[in-house]
Chains A and B, each alone.
Chain A
Amino acid sequence: GQSLEQPSEVTAVEGAIVQINCTYQTSGFYGLSWYQQHDGGAPTFLSYNGLDGLEETGRFSSFLSRSDSYGYLLLQELQMKDSASYFCAVRDNTNAGKSTFGDGTTLTVKP
């Protein structure tokens, strides 16, 4: 099975950098994805790491280390609109259609 752990809440100020960690226990997975969800809205895809290392997309970067069973999402130059929930997710490589999401991290950006 798959389980992912994320901090439940993170608070930071505008302009700062914040890192949201995701540790996982899996029986096998393809890669680590990250999604953003604003309150009451639909999750939107942010980033994917299929290989170890850093992936950068604008202000957002994501990192994966399979040997450490660990990944993170890095948000730079925080803006108020970044206040949202962030979910890490994996897709089971023994059952490709099955995705498991973490419980999410609520990021609050303060002025």
Chain B
Amino acid sequence: DSGVTQTPKHLITATGQRVTLRCSPRSGDLSVYWYQQSLDQGLQFLIHYYNGEERAKGNILERFSAQQFPDLHSELNLSSLELGDSALYFCASGPSISTDTQYFGPGTRLTVL
């Protein structure tokens, strides 16, 4: 158990819908990272927040957005969902703004039908 929690574990929705994925980092960690992992694929970096501020963006679609709240939990919002958005979404946390050791949550499996 990494100490990072993600909810929900599974999410099934329809195309065109909007969903929100939630992540709580390890106690004391200020950085939250979001990744997308499609079937049998690597981890695609989406976005990084540190202490409430966006710090880095990867190839995140405009339909996706994220934020980190004062209590340091983070939410990833996915809208106008498409079949290709079906994937595992992981968040990871780290203690500082720049860390090479990231602690991953269990992931949210999103299925878009």
Q: Is A98 in contact with B58, judged by CB distance below 8 angstroms?
A: yes
Closest residue on chain A to residue B54 by CB atoms: A97
Interface residues of A in 47-73 (CB under 8 A from B): 48, 50
A41 to B90, CA, bound (A): 10
Minimum CB–CB distance for B10 against chain A, Å: 11
Residues of B within 8 Å of A35, CB to CB, are 104
Q: Is A97 in contact with B97, judged by CB distance below 8 angstroms?
A: yes
Select one of B43, B97, B101 contacting A96, CB under 8 A.
Answer: B97
Of the four ranges (under 10, 10 to 19, 20 to 34, 35 or more), the interface on chain B belongs to 20 to 34
Select one of B56, B101, B104, B105 contacting A98, CB under 8 A.
Answer: B56
Q: Is B100 in contact with A42, judged by CB distance below 8 angstroms?
A: no
Q: Is A99 in contact with B33, judged by CB distance below 8 angstroms?
A: yes
Of the four ranges (under 10, 10 to 19, 20 to 34, 35 or more), the interface on chain A belongs to 20 to 34
User: Could you give, for residues 44-70 of chain B, a 1 whenever the CB lies within 8 Å of some chain A CB and a 0 otherwise?
Assistant: 110010100001111000000000000
5 extra interface residue pairs, beta carbon distance < 8 Å, beyond A50-B100, A99-B33:
A33-B101, A44-B104, A87-B43, A97-B56, A101-B43
25 contacts between A and B (CB under 8 A): A30-B98, A30-B100, A33-B101, A42-B90, A42-B104, A42-B105, A43-B90, A43-B102, A43-B104, A45-B101, A45-B102, A48-B101, A87-B43, A89-B43, A91-B98, A92-B56, A96-B98, A97-B31, A97-B55, A98-B45, A98-B56, A99-B102, A101-B45, A102-B42, A103-B41
Interface residues, chain B, with chain A CB atoms under 8 Å away: 2, 31, 33, 35, 41-45, 48, 50, 55-58, 90, 92, 97-98, 100-107
